[in-house]
Each structure stands twice: as structure tokens, then as C-alpha cells.
Amino acid sequence: MRLATWNVNSIRTRVGRVTDWLARAEVDVLAMQETKCTDAQFPTLPFVELGYEVVHTGVNQWNGVAIASRVGLADVQVGFPDQPAWAKGDAEPVTEARALAATCGGVRVWSLYVPNGRTLDDPHYVYKLDWLAALRANAERWAAEEPSAPIALVGDWNVAPFDDDVWSMEFFDGATHVSEPERRAFHAFADAGFTDVVRPFTPGPGVYTYWDYTQLRFPKRQGMRIDFILGSPALAERVAHAEIVREERKGKSPSDHAPVLVELRR
């Protein structure tokens, strides 16, 4: 089974690129983030024509997560218990479209788009840390309740957990994504039993999943590693191969992220 995650940065803009890669790479399950559309706007038909079922949650032009599967799509869940809500200005807090789960081919897949955090003194940073803490608490409970369950927490984590995961620590000094509280929040998932199953196959430094569109970051190899697949013990033991598909950052109108792919033994 081939499972991938990809921050597509607007699925309506990039649906052709995404479905073309799905066909070429023979991906069985794709978790997508930052779809930037409502459920009604999601371009489902191209996926269906390739033999995929699709589930999506999105409420406006921001955020949005989806899962496409050709090996089944069951027990769909939007959001997780106690998922923090975000309040913009004086508006009422809302639970954003950032987490979606489905069971695909026996694997419990969570497509996750972790809040950005913006700056260290922004309320969005506190929201990000609270969001990660709530997800971690749930993940620990899921793993404890079903120790034999293969669970994949996949997506854009908006955290670079090690210095080698960014092209310049000096450049990111005092910024989000590399702060110690964010890194502790990410590493807490390892304490809950979840492993980064891609890194052993793609060791750094200089191995990234995201390159900003500005300043020629991609050709200069100035990126960040912020997209991950974290697996429960039952999933981690099945990983036979993993890769970051850097080639998909090239070409016409790419996402600023590359897909991350794992191959699981049956």
C-alpha cells in the first residue's frame, strides 16, 4: 500500500498536477492539506475517474483537508475531540478545517494541517501549541486503546523539529517553526509512541519538503522540512520504503510543498 501526504496549496489550481502524479506514482491513499475551497467547490470528479473515493472538509478559501483513497474510505471523522478553535478578532471562535480521518485499507489515516503560528508573539502561536497538545493527547489515547492499530498522522506540521530541517537557522532566528516550544510539541508525539517513518529513508541535512515561492528558494535549495508521516508502532513496522518526491516541486504552477510518500507491507 502506497500512502502519501501533500500540501497542495489550492486543489482547484493544481488538481491536474495532483491526479497526474497519483496515476504515475500508483498512490493508493493521498492525504491533502490547504485545499483552499469549500466542500461544494472540491473537484471530486477527476479523482473518481481515476478510481478514488474522496472525502473533504473545507468551509472557505483558507485551510481545508482531504483524503483520496482507492483502497476504501470508512469511518470518516472531521476534527478530533477537544480540537482548539480559532477566534479572529472579536468574532466567535470556530473550529477550522484542519483535521480529517478515514480508515483506508485497514490504516487509520489522519490528514492534518497544523496552524502556522505566524509570529512568536501572535495569539495564533498559542493556538498552534494548544492545537498540537490536543492532537498529541488524542493520539496517545488512540494508540493506547488499540495498540495493534496502524495509525498514520500525516500532513503539514508547520514545525521543523531539527536544525538540519531548515536551510539557515540564522535566517529563522526568532521565528516560528523552529522555536523550542514548537519542537517540544512535535517531539512529544514520539513520547506517545509515534515515529517519523520517513526520516530513516531520507536522512539530512538539506532534505526538505517546502520551499517558499519567493527569492528563488527552490533552485537555491533553501527549504524547510515541515511535512511528515508519523506512524504508530503497528504502522511503523510495516514501512518498507519512503521518499520525498522533490521533482513535483518543479514545473508549471507547482505547490510550494512536495509530496511525502511511504510504501507499507501488507
91 pLDDT above the threshold of 90 = no
Q: Which of 28, 52, 125, 156 is catalytic?
A: 156
Other Cβ atoms less than 10 A from the Cβ of 39: the count is 15
Phi, psi of 29 (to 5 degrees): -135, 130
Q: 39 an active-site residue?
A: no
Q: What is the mean pLDDT of residues 241-251?
A: 98
Among 199, 208, 196, CA closest to 248: 208
Spell out a b/e string for 43-60, using b for 16 or more CB atoms within 10 Å of the CB, else e: bbebbeeeebbbbbbbee
Read off the CATH number of the domain in which 149 is found.
3.60.10.10
Would you say 156 is a known binding-site residue?
Answer: yes
Annotation marks residue 241 as catalytic: no
How many domains does the chain fold into? Answer: 1
Give the range of the structural domain holding residue 141, as residue numbers without chain letter.
2-264
pTM: 0.98
CA 142 to CA 137: how far, in whole Å? 9
Q: What is the pLDDT of residues 164-176, one digit of tens each?
A: 999 999 999 999 9
257 appears as a binding residue in the annotation: yes
3-state SS class at 53: strand
Sort strands 151-156 and 227-231 into parallel, antiparallel or unpaired: antiparallel
Strands 107-113 and 151-156: parallel
3-state DSSP call for residue 30? strand
Residue 113 falls in the annotated catalytic set? yes
- Do the annotations mark residue 116 as ligand-binding? no
Q: What is the pLDDT of residue 90?
A: 80
If one counts every other C-beta atom within 10 angstroms of the C-beta of residue 111, the result is 30
pLDDT-derived band at 53, boundaries 50, 70, 90: very high
